Structure 1
Amino acid sequence: MNCVMTAWHQHEAELRAWLQRRLRNPHDAEDMVQELFLKAMRQERKFCEIANARAWLFEVARNAVADRLRLKKEQVELPDDLVAATDEPVPVETLAECLPRALAELSAEDREDLTLCDLEGLTQEEYARRKGLTLPGAKSRVQRARKRLREHLTSACQVRFDAAGKVCCFVPRTPSGG
């Protein structure tokens, strides 16, 4: 244990200064100095066999600092007047209420294109094979159907978009004939 105390007395001040520069908090640095001393003490006789005690202490310190910084969570103070989140659904999610009727009002071809590719998850490549189309032709067909659906939703459900192009509001419509 004498070798631990000797090494500690030789390198403690340098180690403490290094930790204070890295952690920028004297209390955190002091805590880490104590942790490092305990780690050295726990090595017992193995510490005496270390060829370069200073290198060992700084290596353990570097690892401890890296661990602390990795685990440290940045905390941001929130203002007292922050509005609490509401349980109101996002407009684009509730747009599904309007979708069945809008789909029903599209042509049979557009409805099939959108149903297979967007609702049932068929890839456009699989869709092209099924319909006997080239892949570019299938992609173009699906894109045109999506454009017509968007235009129809915009007019029939009075969908409006915000500056970022996201759905901000609309007038829900229920499926017809039901």
Structure 2
Amino acid sequence: MKCILDAWHAHHPELLRFVAARVPDSQEAHDLVQEVFLRATRLDQGLCGVENRRAWLFQVARNLLIDRYRMARDEIPLDDEPALADVADDLAPVEALSQCLPRVLGELSPEDREAITLCDIEGLSQQALADRLGLSLPAAKSRVQRARRRLREQMVSACQVQFDELGHVCCFVPRPPAGG
């Protein structure tokens, strides 16, 4: 606990200035800095086991700021019900396109089909895919990216997908299931 108190006295003002320069609300800045020190208490040896305490504190603060920005970015203001109806209309062609998915997925290589099925359909993380297949995380991410690209190309080609001026799916030609 002494290491945390020492770090608080040594780095709190500088850390607060760093965070306050990046968030508009001073109370939120104080809360984020307190969260940094709270995370320090969760370390096995507190900050006593950290070689460069200042660097660790600033890295945790940066990570918290990144998380904050990511969460804020995903918020979509909803004004009224007609806007929701418009969104539902936009999604209908994409949802209908799922009719083509089973056949097109079956036309992919076993490696691509496995990556798409495990990560995008079953919800396995890319790290879990890497662990399962004995790959590095970058290799697993590359495999999933390539598989998604080939799936998209096959969907566009086989189902004759057309896009509107904004790049959204507007229409396609359904394909019967294999053997049908």
TM-score normalized by structure 2?
0.49
Larger-gyration structure (1/2): 1
- Point out the structure with the larger helix share: 2
TM-score normalized by structure 1?
0.50
